[in-house]
Amino acid sequence: MSSGSLPRDTSDRKTTETRLIELLGGELAPYWLNAIIESADDAIISKTLDGIITSWNKGAERIFGYTADEIIGRSVTLLIPADHPDEEPNILARLRAGYRIEHYETVRVRKDGTFVNISLTVSPIRNPQGEIIGASKIARDITESRRAELRLREQSEVIRQAYDAIFLRDSANAITLWNQGAERIYGYTQEEALGRSPHELLRTESPVPLEEIYRRLRSEGYWDGELRHTRKDGVQIIVETRWATVRDELGHMTSILEITRDVTERKLTEERLLQAAAIVENSDDAIISKDLDGVIRSWNPGAVRLYGYTAEEVIGRPVTMLIPDDRPDEEPHILEQIRRGDRVDHYETVRVRRDGSLIDVSLTVSPVKTPEGRIIGASKIARDITERKRSEEQLREQSEVIETVNRLGQTLAGELELQKLVQSVTDAATELTGARFGSFFYNRLDERGESYMLYTLSGVPRSAFAHFPMPRNTDIFAPTFAGEGTVRIADVKQDPRYGNNSPYYGMPEGHLPVTSYLAVPVISRSGEVLGGLFFGHPEEGVFTERHERIVEGLAAQASVAMDNARLYEAAERARAEAEASAAENARLYRDAQESSRLKDEFLATISHELRTPLTAILGWAHMLRTGKFEGDSAIRAFETIERNARAQAQLIEDLLDVSRIITGKLRIDIQQLNPNSFIEAAVEAVRPAAEAKGVRVQKIMDTGVVSVSGDPVRLQQIIWNLLSNAIKFTPKGGRVQVRLERINSHIEIAVSDTGAGILPDFLPHVFDRFRQA
């Protein structure tokens, strides 16, 4: 709560009243003043020094719910909550002492019993002799703003705190944390602030003794208030601040967190408003009154500042003099609403100043009524929102730039095709500069060294340039392709470098008109000038410094992306070569692996083939040693041993045949032979192994088969293999069968067994060379 004194000089007061009456239209001044009070959103109340209400406007009725008839003559304590008993006596005591109470935030009770947060400004009322006889009170409903502040604080606390200055100091009063918001508000970097006392660093001035603040911190854990701080540049600012204690798990205070917000501008605005001697006289807004015919009847200094006309120039003239010609229906519509008694709130439109320039304004228009309720005119408050509109437009443009740049960045990050990425940059730059057309030219001349090579075009179809030669190697392009920086020309035709080259000495006939010209080199990280971005517009002075910065940023992105694309192309070539080399090495490795595998399989198979006759030889030899064979049995045993010995010799010969197979020199000895002979020989060769394992070998021979053509050794080798494998994989007590059968002009030899069989997946490979299940 702040205080101030009111002027005691009644002559000054009378002068102000006289000026106010003249300003508001002479004898009609009471009506205008009453209309202003009645149309105000705030509650405007007067009371005696005993707290008895003597006046009550429509704003008070809206805020508190009581009509004037219900409340006038009653005590103002009717509006004060029961838990605020000392508030009104304190206010009255200060009023009697001649003090003014400004922006005192408190709570009041509505007619329906609900509470409303309000901000009070209370001023003493004096009689012509200067004696205080009562008080005027302005109450503003801040319930919604309080609720909105709470919601905003709850929903965006992290963002708000990041924007505000946040710093932490330890028990020794040394700063231990200093965020970017603090750097922005106070100008000190983190390195400059850490370890310093905030009071010394910011030269804190407090309306409350620091001892009181610390007492509140110890008892309540926080303190809210306003302080004056001095920035690094020496400028003093006003901040809203919250101090909060940070405690350890034992409840001991370890540090103090301060969150501050710069409210200097807001406070300065409040102070300027509070200094106004009269609402109408000193309002920053234009406050105008008019009759129902739209004729201006009053014109305050705010209107002079806003529109440029003095009161003498406009009073008595129609308000339509301020309205642009393209809005003929606007004023009749507003007057129709006023005649119906309706209020127009925050209507955004455009008005014309005295110098002819246009201004964005926000209008609030209220009916002016006589005490009898008759509408006699309107009061209009016009607020200049040009800066806000400009800020909104700048924010919109900036958002578009950020969105486009982000979109382009994402495109470039994922694009490695040079044509596409350069086209994306050209399109984005053309859009953001507002150019009629844009292009990118490589820093590469044609075979004659005269023209640059066009790479991309944006804003117009490529056909628009198809019948024109490419830009020539002239002075106007030289700075760009030399990498000398950005070239921006308001009217290129006035540049001394323009139009000096034959055969056109300027633009060819039919060429798109170019007046505004903007060119930016695209330079790689190594310093090579890759090319240039060029933009044109038929109007003069279209491109600005802001456009320069935008295009320079996009050119930097383009250079990095183009470098990356070129590196990618080089890497792809290297990768392709490496892949080809790796594929060849892999093929050679696979061939070597296959050769090794075939060698191992070959050796395993040959070992198997060698063991088969050797097993027969050892078996019969063992049986002969027992002495159980005599006569024909012994002869048959010796014959079997001899036969298998020859077969083993033949197998060794087969090893030599491998080289003959590879060279194509293997010979097969085809003879006429009885199949029974080599089948019988094969069975006899494996019989000892079968009998030793307990496997019965059964022959089923077709007697109609007399002879066939074939190599007896190779055929016997095949039958041996089949029988040996069958016996090997047939369990004890099982049966192996060899069957000879004539089928038409062919014979079929089949070997079957009662063993587990062969897995289905291996069946396609059973007869592959050197494969074994």
Quick: pLDDT tens for 494-540. Answer: 877 765 554 444 555 555 678 888 999 988 888 888 888 889 898 98
Going through 142-201 in order, the beta strands assigned E by DSSP cover: 165-170, 175-178
Domains of the chain: total: 4
Q: Are residues 436 and 552 in the same domain?
A: yes
Residue 688 belongs to a domain with what CATH number?
3.30.565.10
Instruction: Identify whether 131 is part of a domain.
Output: yes
Do 542 and 689 sit in the same domain of this protein?
no
Q: What is the mean pLDDT of residues 247-259?
A: 88
Check whether residue 164 and residue 218 sit in a common domain.
yes
**Is 177 found in the same domain as 111?**
no
Q: Between 113 and 37, where is the model more confident?
A: 113
Alpha carbons within 13 A on the beta-carbon side of 426: 27
Is the pTM of the predicted complex or chain greater than 0.75? no
- Indicate the helix (H) or strand (E) that contains 122: strand 115-126
Is residue 355 a part of any domain in this protein?
no
Consecutive H or E run containing 531:
strand 529-537
Give the CATH number for residue 265.
Answer: 3.30.450.20
- Predicted pLDDT of residue 117: 92
- Interhelix angle 386-414/418-433, rounded to 10 degrees, is 180
What SS3 class is residue 504? Answer: coil
Residues 116, 215 share a domain: no
Same domain, 102 and 187: no
419 shares its domain with 542 = yes
Could you give the CA distance from residue 451 to residue 468 in angstroms, rounded to a whole number? 11
Cα separation, 169 vs 177, in Å, equals 7
**Percentage of residues of the chain with pLDDT beyond 70:** 80
The residue from 520, 548, 569 where one domain ends is: 569
Give the mean pLDDT of 70-82. 93
Are 643 and 517 part of one and the same domain? no
How far apart CA 171 and CA 254 sit, in angstroms, is 6
Polymer length of the chain: 773
pLDDT band at 11 (very low <50, low <70, confident <90, very high): very low
Q: What is the CATH number of the domain that holds 497?
A: 3.30.450.40
- Report the alpha-carbon distance of residue 126 to residue 124 in Å, rounded: 6
Domain boundary among 73, 108, 142: 142
What pLDDT does 455 receive? 72
* Cα 480 to Cα 474, 477, 520, 554, 754, distances in angstroms: 11, 6, 6, 15, 91
Q: Which residue has the higher pLDDT, 594 or 128?
A: 128
According to DSSP, the residues that pair with 663 across neighbouring strands are none
Q: Are residues 633 and 521 part of one domain? A: no
What are the pLDDT digits (tens) for 185-198? 999 998 999 999 99
Looking at the fold, whether 432 and 530 belong to one and the same domain comes out as yes
**273 pLDDT higher than 90:** no
Q: For every residue of 261-327, which 3-state class applies, written as one string?
A: EECHHHHHHHHHHHCCCCHHHHCCCEEEEEECCCEEEEECHHHHHHHCCCHHHHCCCEHHHHCCCCC
Confidence of residue 582 (pLDDT cuts 50, 70, 90): confident
pLDDT, average across residues 334-341: 91
375, β-bridge pairs: 369
- CB distance 81 to 107 below 8 Å: yes
For the ranges 121-125, 401-405, 677-681, the one whose mean pLDDT is highest: 121-125
What is the spatial distance between Cα 689 and Cα 608, in angstroms, rounded to a whole number? 14
pLDDT at 39 over 80: no
Per the structure, the complete domain to which residue 204 belongs is given by: 156-270
User: Does residue 433 register a pLDDT over 60?
Assistant: yes
Whether 86 is in a domain gets the answer yes
Neighbours of 142 (CB within 10 A): 17
Q: What is the largest CA-CA distance in the chain?
A: 168
Domain membership flag for residue 596: no
Summarize pLDDT for 218-250 with one digit per residue, the tens.
899 999 999 999 999 999 999 999 999 988 888
Q: Is residue 505 part of a domain?
A: yes
Answer whether residue 44 is part of any domain.
yes
* In contact, 711 and 668? CB cutoff 8 Å: yes
Show which of 270, 296, 329 is a domain's final residue.
270
Question: Which region holds residue 662: left if phi is over 0, alpha if psi is between -120 and 50, else beta?
Answer: alpha
Q: Is the confidence at residue 107, as pLDDT, over 80?
A: yes
- Whether 591 maps to a domain, the answer reads no
pLDDT in tens, 458-500: 877 766 555 555 555 567 778 888 888 888 988 887 877 765 5
- Indicate whether 742 belongs to any domain: yes
pLDDT tens digits, one per residue of 633-663: 778 777 788 777 876 776 676 667 666 666 7
Are 696 and 758 within one domain?
A: yes
Q: Which amino acid is at 600?
A: D
- 736 pLDDT band, cuts 50/70/90, is very high
Co-location of 642 and 712 in the same domain: yes
Cβ–Cβ < 8 Å for 308, 353:
yes
Looking at residue 674, what is its pLDDT?
86
